């Protein structure tokens, strides 16, 4: 009976550990402390464009959706990015003179190991 509990505990711990893939930070701690956050320049009204992307491969709201949302929001020319885990949908407002749906698709698919997330239906 005791060995069954141990095996179940190990199985649950393993599932929890691998269910959400998080991207690891490679930045040096001292560099992050000394650099000020980049200030994004405002986008001209004529250049504002919004696109939505259906995403496959997300397994959780915190590790997956928030990581993709953060990567998109940090991208140059992106004004706003939201990722809805339940709908498996990313919506991005961006400067069309700096970004385009193809480059934003590459950002999404490049998060984590580059194989986990796939854009299946880009929409404009």
- Overall pTM surpassing 0.85 (yes/no): no
Kindly tell me the sign of the dihedral angle through the C-alpha atoms of 91, 96, 122, 40: negative
Is residue 33, in this structure, part of any structural domain at all? no
Bridge partners of residue 122, in order along the sequence: 53
Q: Are 94 and 78 in contact (CB under 8 A)?
A: yes
Is residue 2, in this structure, part of any structural domain at all? yes
Please give the residue range of the domain that contains residue 7.
1-23+44-124
Of the segments 9-13, 24-28, 77-81, which one has the largest average pLDDT value? Answer: 77-81
**Four-CA torsion 90, 93, 97, 101, nearest 10 degrees:** 20
Q: How many domains does the chain have?
A: 1
**CATH code, domain carrying 55:** 3.30.70.100
Q: What value does the mean pLDDT of the chain take? A: 80
Is residue 108, in this structure, part of any structural domain at all? yes
Give the distance from CA 63 to its chain's centroid: 8
């Amino acid at each position: 009976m005791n060995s069954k509990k141990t095996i179940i505990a190990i199985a649950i711990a393993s599932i929890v550990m691998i269910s959400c893939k998080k991207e690891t930070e490679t930045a040096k701690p001292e560099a992050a402390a000394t650099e000020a956050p980049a200030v994004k320049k405002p986008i001209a009204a004529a250049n504002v464009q919004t696109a939505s992307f259906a995403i496959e491969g997300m397994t959780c709201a915190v590790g997956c959706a928030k990581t993709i949302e953060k990567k998109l929001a940090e991208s140059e020319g992106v004004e706003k990015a939201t990722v809805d885990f339940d709908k498996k949908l990313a919506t991005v407002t961006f400067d069309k003179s700096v970004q385009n749906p193809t480059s934003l698709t590459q950002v999404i698919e490049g998060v984590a190991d580059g194989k986990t997330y796939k854009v299946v239906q880009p929409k404009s």
